Amino acid sequence: MFLPMSIPAMNLLLGSRRSLAGARFLSAQATDPFAKLHIQPVKRPDSAAYFTRKPKFYDLLSAISNLARQHPLPRFNPANYKRGKWIPRAELQTKLGISISPREHELLVRRLGDASNLRISDPAERETVDLYLNQFRRGYVHAETVAKDETGATRVVDQKNKQKAAEEEGKKKKKNNGRRGFQDHLGRWHAFGRRKQAMAFAWVVPVERPTEPLPVEAGAPPAVEPSVASVAGSSGAESSAAAPSVDPAATKAGGGVHPELPVDLELDPDVPKPLEPEPEPEPEPKPIKIIDNVPASAHLPLGDVLVNGKPLAEYFFHGTDRDSVLFPFQVANKVGHYNVFLKVSGGGRTGQAEACQLAVARALYMSDRKAHIPVREAGLLRTDGRAVERKKTGKPKARKSYTWVKR
């Protein structure tokens, strides 16, 4: 409920309000500092990241993030693009002229990967995004247009050949990856293995037995044919089939058969025969190694394993270590089918044996993937990253125990 007010009192109140508003306006004009000094306010910075520690870096990060927001991922386009390879941190620091920490570089690479995986349906827009992202790809060189002569004709300096050469070199390095295994120029399968502090390099050479006997060397003794007595000592039809025919003329002339004994008795095993000098044993043919149909030196027996130039049994004294090295061949059922050369260093004997096992398994698997699927299924191609034994409950360390107290 409003109280009654006279008309003169109301006019006085309204007049006081007008005078107060005018006083405020005059005081604002009188106290404005820019009106007397004619000083213009400072311009705003061009970038929102001006007051950050690294404006260039955060501007770049914001621009790449805007690309992802402008081109959302459509569900109807199942296109698949290759994963980008981005420039390393040192090169990016040189390019931007600022220092970048590993964490910041990881963040930037993650944003670049998100922008590279955008599935843009518009080809022109996709090309624009690619041109922007190409400056951060590893090994990318921008193609320049250079004037050829005064007529204004131009030629394009194509730098894509260098990029292709770099990609081929990268593929070659990826192909000759020791962690996966590869075949060198000599036909040997080479791989690398690691366990704890031990590192092992394995060279696996496939071996085949010769189908034909090797030619007799110059210094080797001549092979001795089996005598008639030895042939006659064989059993059954085999002896009759292998017995040579005896010439009567040679018998009378005192040939290989005794002249006083008849031919029929000579072949009878029950009749005593004259003593003959024992033939020298026939030298066994040496096995050869065949690598891509190229014979190599045959000084090693089949399926031999050398570790740092020593036989396996001489280098690894414990049987468990030797079984660990040969376990991939047992899984693949290829024991004795390969000559293995191992070079191992660092760590203890058990760690070296397991490193050799990993290297041998990788090389064996790469020699024939389809035939050696059991090697992969047995988990022999995975690196064991455990460096120390785990702590047990109720013990201060892995194996250390507390002092036993009776009471």
Output the domain CATH number for residue 355: 3.30.230.10
- The predicted-structure confidence for 314-348, as pLDDT tens digits, reads as follows 999 999 999 999 999 999 998 889 999 999 999 99
* Structure tokens, 106: 């990881």
Count of CA atoms in the C-beta half-sphere (13 A) of 192: 7
121 and 57, same domain (yes or no): yes
Higher pLDDT, 42 or 260: 42
Among 307, 387, 352, smallest CA distance to 198 is for 352
Tell me which of 11-15, 185-189, 342-346, 378-382 is least confident: 11-15
pLDDT at 115: 79
392 within domain boundaries? no
Residue 366 lies in a domain: yes
Q: Percent helix, strand and coil across the chain, each rounded to 5?
A: 40, 10, 50
Q: What is the pLDDT of residue 125?
A: 75
Q: Are residues 197 and 136 in the same domain?
A: no
| Residue 390: inside a domain | no
- Kindly state the average pLDDT of the residues 168-179: 63
pLDDT at residue 390 above 90?
yes
* Helical packing angle, 89-96 and 102-116, nearest 10°: 90
Q: Which helix (H) or strand (E) holds 203?
A: strand 198-206
Mean pLDDT of 163-175: 64
Q: Domain for residue 4, yes or no?
A: no
The model's pLDDT over 81-132, given as tens digits with 9 standing for 90+, comes to 444 578 888 888 888 888 888 888 888 888 888 777 776 767 777 778 778 8
The token pair at 108 is: 């930037």
User: Which pairing describes strands 310-311 and 338-345: parallel, antiparallel, or unpaired?
Assistant: unpaired
pLDDT of the residue at 178: 61
pLDDT score for 8: 64
Q: 28 or 119: whose pLDDT is higher?
A: 119
User: Tell me, what's the pLDDT at 407?
Assistant: 76
Span 35-55, mean pLDDT? Answer: 77
Q: Please check whether residue 359 lies inside any domain of the structure.
A: yes
Report how many domains make up the chain: 2
Q: Are residues 316 and 187 part of one domain?
A: yes
Using DSSP's 3-state secondary structure scheme, residue 148 falls into: coil
Average pLDDT over residues 251-261: 45
> Residue 13: what pLDDT?
58
In angstroms, the CA 111 to CA 146 distance is: 34
Q: Is 184 exposed, middle or buried (0-12, 13-18, 19+ CB in 10 A)?
A: exposed
Q: Is the pLDDT of residue 74 over 90?
A: no
CA distance 396 to 379: 32
User: Do 106 and 196 sit in the same domain of this protein?
Assistant: no
State the burial class of residue 59 (Cβ atoms within 10 Å of its Cβ: 0-12, 13-18, 19+): middle
Residues 237-246 pLDDT 10s = 443 444 444 4
| Structural domain that includes position 326 | 182-210+287-377
Q: Inform me whether the pLDDT recorded for 203 exceeds 90.
A: yes
At 232, list the tokens: 């006659």
Exposure string for 342-357, b = 16+ CB within 10 A, e = fewer = bebeebeebbbbbbbb
Q: CA dihedral in degrees (383, 389, 393, 397; nearest 10)?
A: -150
Residue 296 has pLDDT above 50, yes or no: no
- Residues 132, 190 within the same domain: no
| Burial of residue 240, with CB atoms counted within 10 A of its CB: 0-12 exposed, 13-18 middle, 19 or more buried | exposed
Section 171-197 average pLDDT = 79
pLDDT higher than 60, residue 227: no
The whole-number average pLDDT for the span 381-396 is 92
Please give the average per-residue pLDDT across 255-267, as a whole number: 47
The answer on 75 and 202 residing in a single domain is no
Do residue 201 and residue 339 come from a single domain? yes
Per-residue confidence (pLDDT) for residue 128, from 0 to 100: 81
Q: Is residue 62 very low, low, confident or very high in pLDDT (cuts 50, 70, 90)?
A: confident
The one-character DSSP state at 86 is B
Write down the pLDDT at residue 5: 53
At 345 the pLDDT is: 94
Q: Where are the alpha helices (DSSP H) in 77-199?
A: 89-96, 102-116, 123-133, 160-175
Q: Is 114 helix (H, G, I), strand (E, B) or coil?
A: helix
Residue 287 has pLDDT above 50, yes or no: no
User: Which of 327, 304, 303 has the alpha carbon at shortest distance from 315?
Assistant: 304
Are 72 and 200 part of one and the same domain? Answer: no
246, burial (CB in 10 Å: exposed 0-12, middle 13-18, buried 19+): middle
**Judgement on whether residues 108 and 193 belong to the same structural domain of the protein:** no
The predicted pLDDT at position 306 comes to 94
Question: Does residue 12 lie within any of the structural domains?
Answer: no
Q: How far apart are CA 203 and CA 360, in angstroms?
A: 8
Residue 60, domain member (yes or no): yes
Instruction: Tell me the average pLDDT across 37-56.
Output: 79
Same domain, 317 and 168: no
- 95 and 193 within one domain: no
Instruction: Report the distance separating Cα 191 and Cα 205, nearest Å.
Output: 12
Which whole number is the average pLDDT over 71-86?
A: 52
In a domain, 23, yes or no: no
CB under 8 Å to 54, separation ≥6 — which residues? Answer: 98, 100, 104
160/274 Cα distance (integer angstroms)? 89
The overall pTM is greater than 0.85: no
Averaged pLDDT score across all residues of the chain:
71
Same domain, 187 and 295: yes
